[in-house]
């Protein structure tokens, strides 16, 4: 496996991976397109790393983007990691975050936030291994598949 900075050519793979989680582990209810990822890849202060298998397949990605467009949040970023379900549990997420977190630091982020469904205990444990702490739970903040969804907010500050 190779970890590298995502390029415009990776946009279809990023959409394919993310869409495995639409309305299942995210508050996004409609599939994303490659064009959505083209926009992310060219946005200021956004950074995306991909994991690439030895056969050249993109098997996961991790990203950081601004938490808000409000100037007072300049130090705050929001992170995400998504793995192709067929490649989960193989250390890919850890390898991605080992690159992403220093990259976020280099971009000037000093406060990172992750928003995770409360029942996604694996992702919460993963983030804690990387120094994130739970800030709280937003009870019933989401409405997905005709049911309320709780979100856990985690942060890493330095």
- pLDDT tens-digit profile of 47-71? 999 999 999 999 999 999 999 999 9
> Do residues 107 and 45 lie in contact, with contact meaning Cβ atoms separated by under 8 Å?
yes
Instruction: Supply the mean pLDDT for the chain.
Output: 96
pLDDT at residue 89, as a whole number: 86
Q: What CATH number should be reported for the domain holding residue 7? A: 3.40.630.30
Q: Which domain holds residue 73?
A: 2-114
Over 90: is that where the pLDDT of 155 sits?
yes
Which band of pLDDT confidence, cut at 50, 70 and 90, is reported for residue 10?
Answer: very high
Any domain includes 144: no
Any domain includes 150: no
Over 90: is that where the pLDDT of 41 sits?
yes
Any domain includes 131: no
Any domain includes 75: yes
Query: How far is the C-alpha of 78 from the C-alpha of 40, rounded, in Å?
Result: 13
| CA neighbor of 2 nearest in space, from 57, 46, 79 | 57
Any domain includes 73: yes
- pLDDT tens-digit profile of 78-134? 999 999 998 888 899 999 999 999 999 999 999 999 999 999 999 999 999 999 999
């Amino acid at each position: 496996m190779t970890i590298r900075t995502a390029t415009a050519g990776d946009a279809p793979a990023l959409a394919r991976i993310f869409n495995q989680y639409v309305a299942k582990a995210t508050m996004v209810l409609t599939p994303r397109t490659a064009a959505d990822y083209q926009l992310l890849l060219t946005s200021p202060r956004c950074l995306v790393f991909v994991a690439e298998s030895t056969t050249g397949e993109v098997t996961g990605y991790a990203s950081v983007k601004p938490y808000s467009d409000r100037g007072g949040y300049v130090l705050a970023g929001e992170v995400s990691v998504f793995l192709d379900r067929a490649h989960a549990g193989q250390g890919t997420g850890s390898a991605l975050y080992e690159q992403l977190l220093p990259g976020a630091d280099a971009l000037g982020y000093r406060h990172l936030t992750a928003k995770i469904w409360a029942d996604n205990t694996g992702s919460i444990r993963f983030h804690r291994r990387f120094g994130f702490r739970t800030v709280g739970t937003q009870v019933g903040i989401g409405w997905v598949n005709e049911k309320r969804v709780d979100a856990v907010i985690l942060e890493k500050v330095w």
